[in-house]
Amino acid sequence: SNRTFTMIKPDAVANGHIGAILEKINAAGFRIAALKMTRLSAEKAGEFYAVHKERPFYGELVEFMSSGHIVAAILEKDNAVEDFRKLIGATNPANAEPGTIRKLYAESVGRNAVHGSDSDENAEIEGSFFFSDLEKF
Ligand code: ATP
């Protein structure tokens, strides 16, 4: 597929990095197919990250992701999922390559500035979590 899904997380939104992150996304050749600034309730954040329910950081993750506004977007580019994960860098910014979004803007492994889907299937599921068919196409 040529689509992926991203969220700019509450840390990066609160720190004023929305514009800089969208600029990096565009500069890397992604087209923004859908975009919205919104907020997740704790219930919705828990649903989005349900696959991590048994992990020790789940409670912290849900609390953080519902702590402030986020920006959700569907992005288009050849090889979108893999190329976007390269652009954002490792989950822990301490291990992220120079120039990646997480190296530049993330605070810690928990507050790591952006999300990027890990498969075509999850990109579709996650995009549909935030956007209606009319918004998506
Ligand atoms: P994302 O799904 O957000 O793109 P990822 O695929 O790089 O991240 P996962 O291992 O799937 O990383 O973890 C999902 C999210 O859970 C991470 O982005 C991070 O916000 C949070 N997380 C992961 N490990 C930890 C940890 N040890 N402590 C706190 N939060 C964590």
Render pLDDT for 93-110 as a digit per residue (tens, 0 to 9).
999 999 999 999 999 999
State yes or no: pLDDT of 1 exceeds 90: no
Residue closest by Cα to atom 10 of ligand 1: 91
**What's residue 25's pLDDT?**
98
Residues at the annotated binding site for ATP?
9, 57, 85, 91, 102, 112
Cα-trace Rg, the chain: 14
So where are the chain's domains? 3-136
Residues at the annotated binding site?
9, 57, 85, 91, 102, 112
The CA angle 74-77-83, to the nearest 5 degrees, is: 95
User: Model's pTM, two decimal places?
Assistant: 0.96
CA of 134 to the centre of ligand 1 (A): 30
Range 3-136 has CATH code 1.10.1740.10: no
Helices (H), 1-137: 10-14, 18-27, 42-48, 58-65, 80-88, 101-105, 120-130, 133-136
Interface pTM, i.e. ipTM = 0.93
* pLDDT band of 137, cuts 50, 70, 90: confident
Give the pair of three-digit tokens for residue 111.
């507050």
